[in-house]
Structure 1
Amino acid sequence: MNIDIQTIRNLAHLARLEFDETKEQEMMQDLNKILDWMDKLRELDTSAVEPLTHLSEEVNVLREDIAHNAISHEEGLRNAPKKDSDYFRVPKVLD
């Protein structure tokens, strides 16, 4: 499969990109190199290779997810620039 200028222009339009003529040529050459490389990879026999599901054999050690209050309500409001008894005061957002 070869990429031509019209294909590059169509892809650029779909991706909302703008290329000048030299960049179009560079993109065409780069995409053709990528496709040639993919054709080379297709020649390999991978029937005996297991699919890769993880990049390493490492297992994540995760802590148990337990909800708890790290600070009290009063401590949370202590450094608030503006507060109204139990709530933060913020500028009005909607009219």
Structure 2
Amino acid sequence: MDSIVLVVNVARGGIFEEQALAQALGDGQIGGAATDVYEHEPGTKENCPLLDPTIPHLILSPQIVWYSSKTLKGTLATIKTNLEAFVSGAPVNVVP
């Protein structure tokens, strides 16, 4: 039985070598890949070999998982808390 390797990266860019992945897909060593993160953000034709339209079995997507209503509400609440704390003279989430 032949095995098919599929690569899915939705974590961080730079986890794998993009040029090597592109080559492995082109050579048929990897059955398919999908990613929404790139070694260099934003990915462009000049800095990302995965943006070559001739690479087979590759799905690319912009990273938009952070853009949910829950995330936006949480971000706004955190900003509000931080600003109120700063104005009151008791800053929170201070990075030394």
> Could you say which TM-score interval applies, normalised by the shorter chain?
under 0.3
Structure (1 or 2) with the larger CA radius of gyration: 1
TM-score, normalised to structure 1's length? 0.25
Compare the two structures and name the one with the higher helix fraction: 1
Higher RCO, Cα 8 Å, sep 6+ = 2
**TM-score, with length taken from structure 2:** 0.25
